[in-house]
A and B are shown apart, each in its own frame.
Chain A
Amino acid sequence: DTEVTQTPKHLVMGMTNKKSLKCEQHMGHRAMYWYKQKAKKPPELMFVYSYEKLSINESVPSRFSPECPNSSLLNLHLHALQPEDSALYLCASSEDRGGGNTIYFGEGSWLTVV
């Protein structure tokens, strides 16, 4: 089973709203990731969690706030977003084998900020 589950699949939010994207995996992977993908562009790394600790923050604006409540769950809290934040948000996970790991992606959450 190589499944990463993301909810919701689609989200429309206003610029003053607060919402969250959720991600879950039950593969025992200890690394989890958030990527952002704009149309016709490759995924861009936002955050990496390793063993439930934030390891990498790619200079993401504070209106995006990640949270890793446990080893299976990863959230992305959204507040005061801008229309240019509209994109596909991808969650991913990988094993800890010291590199050379396959990263598995969820189906993504399509976010539209109005």
Chain B
Amino acid sequence: EDKVVQSPLSLVVHEGDTVTLNCSYEVTNFRSLLWYKQEKKAPTFLFMLTSSGIEKKSGRLSSILDKKELFSILNITATQTGDSAVYLCAVEGAIIIQGAQKLVFGQGTRLTINP
């Protein structure tokens, strides 16, 4: 059975700190790994990773994938209170139907940034 595990489940830091969120996975036929940020509504897309060792970067956020060790990390530098959210990792694998895909989500990491 496909599985995605995120750690830590919860993290509280002070504004300005750097955080690293972890995502490990076991899926058949890995296609991609996605990171989402979820505040009080729908998940918003952050990154999609398909290749090992290539860092994706957007402002203070960056992410990298290791397909040999089956994990990904999401880094946030110089954190701000607006970064407080649940960060979801999802992996596309196993069943591929024409034009569609099945994502397996991790439990999420609840990040709280205190001023």
Q: What is A's interface to B at a CB cutoff of 8 Å?
A: 2, 30-31, 33, 41-45, 48-51, 55-56, 90, 94, 96, 98-108
Contact = CB atoms under 8 A, between A and B. Distances in A.
Give the top 4 A-B pairs by smallest Cβ distance, nearest first.
Answer: A96-B99, A42-B105, A31-B100, A50-B100
Given A31-B99, A48-B100, A42 B41 contact: no
Interface of B: 31-32, 34, 36, 41-45, 48, 50, 88, 90, 92, 95-103, 105-108
A108 B41 contact: yes
A8 B88 CA distance: 25
Contacts of A90: 42-43
Contacts of A45: 102-103
Contacts of B34: 102-103
Contact of B98 (A2, A96, A106, A108): A96
A2 B106 CA distance: 23
A102 B48 contact: yes
Contacts of A104: 45
Contacts of A98: 96
Contacts of B103: 45, 103
Given A41-B107, A42-B108, A43-B105, A100 B98 contact: no
B106 A99 contact: no
A3 B110 CA distance: 25
Contacts of B102: 45, 48, 56
Given A48-B97, A94-B100, A105 B43 contact: yes
B98 A42 contact: no
A49 B100 CA distance: 7
Contacts of B105: 42-44
B18 to A, nearest CB: 25
Given A55-B100, A94-B100, A99-B96, 18 more contacts: A31-B100, A41-B107, A42-B105, A42-B107, A42-B108, A43-B43, A49-B100, A50-B98, A51-B99, A90-B43, A96-B100, A100-B50, A101-B92, A102-B45, A103-B101, A105-B36, A105-B43, A107-B42
Contacts of B107: 41-42
